Amino acid sequence: MANYFTDNPELEFHLHHPLMKRIVELRERGFADKDSYPEAPVDFEDAIENYKQVLSIVGDITANIVEPNSEAVDQEGPHLVDGRMHYASKTYENLEATRKAGLWGVSMPRRYGGLNMPITPYSMASEMMSEADAGFQNVWSLQDCVETLYAFGSEEQRQKYIPRVCAGETMSMDLTEPDAGSDLQRVMLKATYNAEEDQWYLNGVKRFITNGDSDIHLVLARSEEGTHDGRGLSMFIYDKRNGGVTVRHIENKLGIHGSPTCELVYKNAKAELCGQTRLGLIKYVMSLMNGARLGIGAQSVGLMQAAYNEGLAYARERAQFDKKIILFPAVYDMLSRMKAKIDAGRSILYMTSRYVDIYKTLEDIARERPLTAEERAEQKKYSRLADALTPITKGMTSEFANQNAYDAIQIHGGSGFIMEYKSQRLYRDARILSIYEGTTQLQVVAALRYITNGTYSKEIEELLASEVPSSLAGAKASLAKAAEELNASIEKVKSFGDQEVTDFLGRRLFQMTGMTLMGLLLLSDAARCEELFAGSARIFAGLAAETAAGHSAFIASFDPALLPDLRAE
Amino acid sequence: MNLRIIVLAKQVPDTRNVGKDAMTPEGTVNRAALPAIFNPDDMNALEQALRLKEQNPGTSVGILTMGPPRAAELIRQGLYRGADTGWLLTDRLFAGADTLATSYALATAIKKIGGADIIIGGRQAIDGDTAQVGPQVAQKLGLSQVTYAEEILDCKDGRLTIRRHIDGGTETVSAPMPCLITVNGTAAPCRPANAKLVMKFKRASCPSERVALPVKPGTPGRDDSYDYLYDSREWLNLTQWSVADIDGDPQQCGLAGSPTKVMAVQNIVFQAKESKSLSDSDADIEWLVKELRDEKIIG
């Protein structure tokens, strides 16, 4: 039987990264749960075995239930019935399987009914869900909204809502509105407090809400009358059981048909304030979005793998000019780049996940006891690294997913353009990845600060300092050269001393950084396991060198005087 | 209603995924080349049992299986999905059993367990394809039996309402408990393993299985680093019974208790002809009788 976990040994490799020891130690608080919860691990090896077992269940469900359902889900899509969203019929089967398997509240503490698993194996599960059906991955992985409720909600709210999520109730984050997309400061949905009833009420419209008819919503709303910016926004919990929200419209989208995108009308909907007023956007949504961006990274890598599977299978089967097309250099050029992007994507996705694990768990421990000075330093270090790596992970992998989907169709030739083949769905599904949860352009903006302040350069320098086997020396040299060109380009851009120029050239710096950093992370994985990664590491180092050479040439010859002519008024 | 349910399960070679090494040159199954799996129809039976458990709080579901120590995997697979307990019948004296000896062993074990309200198993195993064990167990225990079940629709007042698969359709029957049910492969597939239950029971094993565990590379003897858990965590200890443990008669078990002797196995190619559907009209019946007489099937 197919199993997306055991079929991709690269996943298990990342589960055995040296940092996992620290992550498990922190997560399990010295294995304190072992005598009160029969499912709790007794030591580090036992915890890793638990993760493997759970991921194997995910691998089974995704390969044998979710993927086989994906075509029907894509064709049927969700329905609007009397103000309610109904999923495509097979989506209910997928949901039931994940509930029976207990794959909800994966990262929540055991006392609320969760599995207390770190973000790293959770991201792996997320990747597999997406490999099976990127649309369903949204529905399932929106459970990580509960992280925000856990972090900022009251104990009463935690006890009320988290066990329900662990039992399989779905979630959504209701942020965007017709006039507030990328610019969330413009959110207008109104929250009014009735002092007599000690009750908040929500009124207004939300648009483009993924899984918008969920059971438990986190809602960004304007609680401070008369304000117009982010500081007047607060976060609320809306419980569908209380009513007051209807679905007015379900978007007809290019892809991810398994993921309903809803327009919601709030009419005097009762809601609970989550955390403090005014911190909704500036603190809570920022936390929510970082988690969501990592989720898109996992979704992107899963889709990249699915596209590769399709391309590879077709190239092995299809013969032209009396030989299998996989034997033609032009075809295996595409396939080797696709695979290298998947492996590099995983290297950065799981590195970022591990950084998030360490800093978030320390953040959680800080709610129980004061951290030691070392722990505080550790928390700060990994928090900064996670913040820096998240936009690269999201931005790069989502673009790669589009590239892999494009190549999968290209390998299929004319058949790829026919709706009967799965590649066309992957192509449509991939398109949203570089748009939602912050477009690639916004990821560039988020990363630029770290590009110019040297955060990435320092990481790159540290990675370049480590030894690699002689078989990978060539790859390392290519990456070292790419790093030099990147640094020169950063200096060149800085020398203009003009923010508009920096923004204009940002995409190029971002790609150079992404390629070099990912190449080095993949190289370090290849150094630990040549068998799995050496081939990809070499190919990817070449791609990084190619990108660096091209972009640095563009930047070196760039004339800022051109900008006024390029602005289309 | 607190039901006591026993699921009969068999570990079988995965004959649905047959590679080129699946058969020995002698024409017998090469078990080493095929992964051992939970018999598919028995998984359907387990699902029906687990649904009854969900609908009737307080119900217990136990997995009863006979086989070598590694067949304890079936009990774990059951526990991973929500079963409460299990019994492995393992003993050299059970080996080589035909359906008669198997049903004797299972029926004797069920008596030892103290009976059950519902005994449920798959219609047949994919290795033997006899579909005899379930009905024989019912016969030996003097129970009503419902075969080819697709869904247990209702359970109340000591009776079960069951939809059965029949040729060209289904029929719904009612049976008093205790009873034995065999479940058809067209029934609902079994639910996936549950994350928490897998974490809880992943080291559950029976004593003979622990002795047989593979040796951990680089360490003397097998990996016993988690042996200390078996004292404090009773749920990790699976029940293992020998012929003597169930007060069985060795003469009725295993090879000794099996009148069936396989003389030879031949490869054959089915010469399938077109089938014909007949109605209950006089003309059709007359045609059938003539056909059977012409083919010398009836004299």
Residues of chain A found within 8 Å of residue B194, distances taken between Cβ atoms: 57, 100-102
Q: ipTM for the complex?
A: 0.93
Assigned domain for A551 exists:
yes
Say if A55 falls within a structural domain: yes
Question: pLDDT value at position B260?
Answer: 87
Contacts of A118 (CB under 8 A, 6+ apart): A23, A24, A27, A51, A107, A353, A357, A361
CB contact under 8 A, A57 and B192: yes
Q: How far is A397 from chain B (nearest CA, A)?
A: 29
| Beta-sheet pairing, B60-66 with B4-9 | parallel
Does residue A288 share a domain with residue A154? yes
- Is there a domain that residue A513 lies in? yes
Out of A262, A279, A296, a domain closes at A279
pLDDT at position A513 is 98
Task: Please tell me the total count of domains within chain B.
Answer: 1
Give how many domains chain A has, as a whole number. Answer: 3
Closest CA to B37 of B8, B58, B10, B2: B10
Query: Which pair of structure tokens corresponds to residue A368?
Result: 């129980």
**Which of B194, B200, B225 lies at the smallest CB-CB distance from A101?**
B194
Non-local (6+) Cβ contacts of A1 within 8 A are: A60, A63, A64, B17
Which of A64, A56, A40 has its CA nearest to residue A103? A56
Asked if B131 has any chain A CB less than 8 Å from its own CB, the reply is: no
CB contact residues (below 8 A), chain B span 165-194, against chain A: 191-194
Instruction: Say if B18 is an interface residue toward chain A (CB within 8 Å).
Output: no
Asked if B195 lies within 8 A of A40 by C-beta distance, the reply is no
Task: Give the nearest chain A residue to B200 (CA atoms).
Answer: A39
Question: In this structure, are strands B169-176 and B118-122 parallel, antiparallel, or unpaired?
Answer: unpaired
pLDDT of residue B221: 47
CATH number where A479 lies: 1.20.120.470
Give first-to-last CA distance, chain A, whole Å: 58
Chain A's closest residue to B17, CA to CA, is A1
**Signed CA dihedral, B280, B283, B289, B292: sign only:** negative
A470: in domain: yes
Both A274 and A287 in a single domain? no
Q: Are residues A123 and A134 in the same domain?
A: yes
Q: Is residue A398 part of a domain?
A: yes
CB contact under 8 A, B193 and A49: no
* Peptide bond connecting B178 to the previous residue in cis, omega within 30 degrees of 0: yes
The verdict on A157 and A222 lying in the same domain is no
Task: Write down which residue in A279, A303, A325 finishes a domain.
Answer: A279
Q: Per-residue DSSP letters for B268-289? A: ------------SSHHHHHHHH
Please give the torsion angle defined by the CA atoms of residues A210, A213, A214 and A217, in that order, rounded to the nearest 10 degrees.
80
One domain for residues A214 and A343: no
Nearest to B195 among A38, A49, A54 (CB): A54
Question: Do the Cβ atoms of A334 and A411 come closer than 8 Å?
Answer: yes
Three-class HEC string of A304-337 = HHHHHHHHHHHHHHCEECCEEHHHCHHHHHHHHH
Same domain, A361 and A233: no
B264 contacts chain A (CB < 8 A): no
From the list B195, B202, B233, which residue is nearest A102 (CB)? B195
Residue B128 has what pLDDT?
Answer: 79
CATH of the domain at B154: 3.40.50.620
Give residue-wise pLDDT tens across range B286-299: 999 998 888 888 86
Taking one residue from A and the other from B, the number of pairs with CB-CB distance under 8 angstroms is 54
- Structure-token match 């010469």, residue found: B271
Q: Examine the domain organization and report whether A428 and A492 are in the same domain.
A: no
Same domain, yes or no: A336 and A202: no
Contact indicator for B146, B179 with CB cutoff of 8 Å? yes
Q: Give CA–CA dist B166/A169, Å, rounded.
A: 39
Whole-angstrom CA distances from B127 to B9, B26, B30, B124, B237 are 13, 17, 12, 9, 29
pLDDT, tens digit only, all 569 positions of chain A: 899 999 999 999 999 999 999 999 999 999 999 999 999 999 999 999 999 999 999 999 999 999 999 999 999 999 999 999 999 999 999 999 999 999 999 999 999 999 999 999 999 999 999 999 999 999 999 999 999 999 999 999 999 999 999 999 999 999 999 999 889 999 999 999 999 999 999 999 999 999 999 999 999 999 999 999 999 999 999 999 999 999 999 999 999 999 999 999 999 999 999 999 999 999 999 888 888 999 999 999 999 999 999 999 999 999 999 999 999 999 999 999 999 999 999 999 999 999 999 999 999 999 999 999 999 999 999 999 999 999 999 999 999 999 999 999 999 999 999 999 999 999 999 999 999 999 999 999 999 999 999 999 999 999 999 999 999 999 999 999 999 999 999 999 999 999 999 999 999 999 999 999 999 999 999 999 999 999 999 999 999 999 999 999 999 999 999 898 888 76
Q: What is the pLDDT of residue A510?
A: 98
Distance from the first to the final alpha carbon of chain B: 54
Q: To the nearest whole angstrom, how far is the Cα of A97 from the nearest Cα of chain B?
A: 7
Supply the angle between the helices A373-412 and A499-528 in degrees, to the nearest 10. Answer: 90
Q: From chain B, pick out residues whose CB is under 8 angstroms from the CB of A65.
A: 192
* Pairwise CB contact (< 8 Å): B192 & A115: no
| Contacts A106 to B, Cβ<8 Å | 195
Give the pLDDT of residue B26.
Answer: 65
Tokens read off for B254: 């295993």
Single-letter amino acid code for the residue at A125: A
**Contact list, A97 vs chain B (CB under 8 Å):** 191-192
Q: Domain holding A242: CATH number?
A: 2.40.110.10
Of A368, A349, A277, whose CA–CA distance to A517 is shortest?
A349
In this structure, the answer to whether residues A406 and A316 fall within a common structural domain is yes
Of the three residues A219, A253, A279, the one that is the final residue of a domain is A279
Q: How far apart are CA A107 and CA B105, in angstroms?
A: 45
Q: Does B216 touch chain A (CB under 8 A)?
A: no
Expressed as residue numbers, the domain containing B249 is: 4-257
Q: Flag whether A1 is in a domain.
A: no
Q: Tell me which residue in A49, A61, A65 faces B202 most closely, judged by beta carbons.
A: A49
The distance of A117 to chain B (nearest Cα, Å) reads 11
Same-domain check for residues A256 and A286: no
Q: Which of B191, B193, B200 sits opposite A39 (nearest CB)?
A: B200
Q: B214: burial class by Cβ within 10 Å (0-12, 13-18, 19+)? A: exposed
Residues of A in contact with B196 (CB under 8 A): 39, 102, 115
Distance (Å) from the alpha carbon of B229 to chain A's nearest alpha carbon: 9
Is B283 among the domain residues? no
Residue B216 has a pLDDT of: 54
Q: Is residue B109 part of a domain?
A: yes
Reduced to 3 states, what is the DSSP secondary structure of residue A213? coil
> Does residue A299 sit in the same domain as residue A417?
yes
pTM for the model stands at 0.93
Outline where A366-472 has alpha helix (H): 373-412, 422-430, 440-452, 455-465
Two tokens, residue A520 = 């080095």
- How does DSSP assign chain B, residue by residue? ---EEEEEE-EEE-TTS--TTSB-TTSSB-GGGS-EEE-HHHHHHHHHHHHHHHHSTT-EEEEEEESSGGGHHHHHHHHHHT--EEEEE--GGGTT--HHHHHHHHHHHHHHHT--SEEEEES--TTT----HHHHHHHHHT-EEEEEEEEEEEEETTEEEEEEEETTEEEEEEEESSEEEEE-TTSPPPPPPPHHHHHHHTT-B-HHHHHTPPBPTTSSSB--TTTTHHHH-GGGB-EEE-TTTTT--GGGSTGGG----------------------SSHHHHHHHHHHHHHTTS--
Domain boundaries, position A459: 450-566
Q: Quick count: other Cβ atoms within 10 Å of Cβ A310?
A: 24
Residue B245 class from Cβ within 10 Å (0-12 exposed, 13-18 middle, 19+ buried)? middle
A263 and A387 co-located in one domain: no
The answer as to whether A3 is a domain residue is no
CATH of the domain at A306: 1.20.140.10
pLDDT beneath 70: ranges in chain B: 26-29, 31, 212-224, 272-273, 299
B interface mutation test: which of A28, A50, A90, A99 has the most B CBs within 10 A?
A: A50
Q: Is residue A441 part of a domain?
A: no
